[in-house]
Structure 1
Amino acid sequence: MKAHSPHSGPHQPAFRRQEPDARRLALIEACARVLARLGAAGASVRAIAVEAGVSPGLVSHYFSGIEALVAATYAHVEDKVNEAIDEAVNAAGQNPRARLDAFVMASFAPAIADPQLLATWIAFWSLVTARPAIAAQHDEQYSGSRARLEALLGDCGVPAERQRRDAIAVSALVDGLWLELCLSPGCFSAEEAGAIARRFLDTLI
C-alpha cells in the first residue's frame, strides 16, 4: 500500500523542483516505511529525514513534531486502504450482496493483505494506548468502517436493530482472517479467507 518516492541522484537535493504538497507526501511515505521497518520506537525525526534523504529541519518545517507526522501518516495509510475498498465496492455494481461481499473481500486482496502494511499498522496500534491523538484517530477510523458496513448490511435486508452488532462481528472476523493471512500466508489462501467470510455473511442475511 505504500508508494515509493523517486530517489534523487547522488548530488541532487532530494526535493528539487517538487511542490510543497509533494514534499509533505514524500515525508509521510518515508515515515510509513520507517514505522514498518523500525516500529514506533524507531520513528524519530532523524530516522525519517534519513529515509527521505532530507535534513531534519525540513521535516520540522512541514510538521510540528514526530507525533504530528505519525498522525498524518496514519491518516494517509487509512485513506489508501479506504480507497482500495471503495474501488472494490464500486466495481461490484448495484447488487447489495455483491457490494457487501466486495467490501469484505477487499481486505484479502494483495494490496491490503500485505505484510509491510501489517507492520505499519502494528506500529500505529502500539501507539493507541500511549497517545490520545492516535487513539482518537483509531476510534474514528473504526467507527467509520463499521458505519459503512452497517449500511451495506442494511441494504441486504439486515434489520436495523441487528446492524451494529452484526457489523462488529463481521469486522472482527475479517480482521482476524486478514491478520493471519498477513502473518502466515502459507497457512491458507485469500480465496479460502473469502469463502469463510462469505459463509459467515450467509448466516446473517
Structure 2
Amino acid sequence: MPDSTRQRRPFRREGPDLRRRELIDATLRVIASRGMDAATVRTISEEAGVTPGLIRHYFETKEDLLGAAYDQHMTTLIEMSQQAVEDASQPAVRRLARFVETTLSTPVTDPEALQLWAGFIQRVRRDEAMRRIHRTNYHSFLSCLEELISGALAARGRRPSPDDLKRLTIASNAVVDGLWLEGSALPEMLGPDELTSIALDAIGAILGLDGLNDDLRKELDK
C-alpha cells in the first residue's frame, strides 16, 4: 500500500543525467532497505518522489533501471578501491597492500553493500543484460588487481607468464571476495584490520611475497 505520509517533492526541471542518477539512487535505497522484491516501479517512484511515468521516460523497462543501478553500485565499489592506488609513485608492493586494505574496509566492505550485491546477484544467472554488467565489472576489478600483482612481483624480480599471472590473480581475488562476504555479513566478528591482515597473509603466501602485512603496517605507522 502506498505510504500516504510521503510527500511528493515539488517538480523542478533537472538535466537528464541528474534525474537518471536520482532514480538509480532511489532504486538502490529501496533494494538496500526492503529487498529486490520490493523494487517495483511504484515503490521506486515513491522513494524518488516522482510519478511512475517519469521512470518510464528515462528507462524503457524496470529491468533497464535495475541494470543501471547494479552497474552504478559495482562501479562505485571498484572505483573506491582503485582510487586508493592512483599514486603510481608508491612502491608496487605497498600499492597492492593498500588496494587489498581499501577493498576490505568500509564503505566497500559494508552490510548495505552486501545487501545490494545479494539482491542483484540472484538476477545475474537468468538475465543476460545483468550478466554482461557483472562480467564487465568483474573484469575491471580483476584487471586492476592483476596489474598490481604484476608490479609487485616485478619489483621482486619475478615475471610470471600470462597464464600464471592470471591464475595468481584469480586465486588472490578469491581470498578478497571471501573475506569481503564475511566482513560485510558479520562486521562485529571481523574488523577491517583483521580482515586485511588475514587477506595479506593469504595473498602473500599465494604470490610468494613475504611481508605484505609488514609493508602496509610501516606505511600506516608513518
TM-score by length of 2: 0.82
C-alpha distance after superposition, 1:61-94 (max 9, x if no partner): 0000111001111111122112211211125743
Equivalent in the alignment of 1:198: 200
Please point out which of 39, 44, 48 is paired with 2:40: 44
User: Residue 45 of structure 1 contacts residue 59 of structure 1 at CA under 8 Å; is this kept in 2?
Assistant: yes
C-alpha distance after superposition, 1:82-131 (max 9, x if no partner): 22112111257431111111221111221111111111111110101121
Equivalent in the alignment of 1:150: 146
Q: Which has the larger radius of gyration?
A: 2
Please point out which of 21, 24, 27 is paired with 2:20: 24
- 2: distance between equivalents of 1:77 and 1:186? 24
Structure 2 unaligned blocks of 5 or more: 1-5, 154-158, 210-222
Please point out which of 71, 74, 80 is paired with 1:84: 80
Moved over 3 A (4+): 9-12
User: Residue 146 of structure 2 contacts residue 166 of structure 2 at CA under 8 Å; is this kept in 1?
Assistant: yes
**Does the residue aligned with 1:156 lie in a helix, a strand or coil?**
helix
Equivalent in the alignment of 1:59: 55
- 1: distance between equivalents of 2:143 and 2:83? 17
- 1: distance between equivalents of 2:101 and 2:87? 12
**Does the residue aligned with 2:63 lie in a helix, a strand or coil?**
helix
* Residue identity opposite 1:54 in structure 2: V
Task: Tell me if 1:178 matches 2:174.
Answer: no
User: Residue 93 of structure 1 contacts residue 99 of structure 1 at CA under 8 Å; is this kept in 2?
Assistant: no
> Would the alpha carbon gap of residues 72 and 153 (structure 1) be closer, same or farther in structure 2, given more than 3 Å must change?
same
Please point out which of 30, 33, 42 is paired with 2:29: 33
TM-score by length of 1: 0.89
1:10: Cα distance to partner?
4.7
C-alpha distance after superposition, 1:113-170 (max 9, x if no partner): 1111111111110101121110121122112211221111111125133211111111
Please point out which of 98, 102, 110 is paired with 1:102: 98
> Would the alpha carbon gap of residues 10 and 71 (structure 1) be closer, same or farther in structure 2, given more than 3 Å must change?
closer
User: Residue 92 of structure 1 contacts residue 102 of structure 1 at CA under 8 Å; is this kept in 2?
Assistant: no
Q: Work out the number of aligned pairs and report it.
A: 196
> Would the alpha carbon gap of residues 99 and 10 (structure 1) be closer, same or farther in structure 2, given more than 3 Å must change?
same
C-alpha distance after superposition, 1:41-76 (max 9, x if no partner): 221111110111110000000000111001111111
**Does the residue aligned with 2:109 lie in a helix, a strand or coil?**
coil
Structure 1 unaligned blocks of 5 or more: 1-8
1:201: Cα distance to partner?
2.5
**Does the residue aligned with 1:136 lie in a helix, a strand or coil?**
helix
RMSD over aligned CA atoms reads: 1.8
- 1: distance between equivalents of 2:8 and 2:95? 50
- Percent identity, please: 36
User: Residue 40 of structure 1 contacts residue 126 of structure 1 at CA under 8 Å; is this kept in 2?
Assistant: no
1:36: Cα distance to partner?
1.6
- 2: distance between equivalents of 1:43 and 1:52? 12
Equivalent in the alignment of 1:6: none
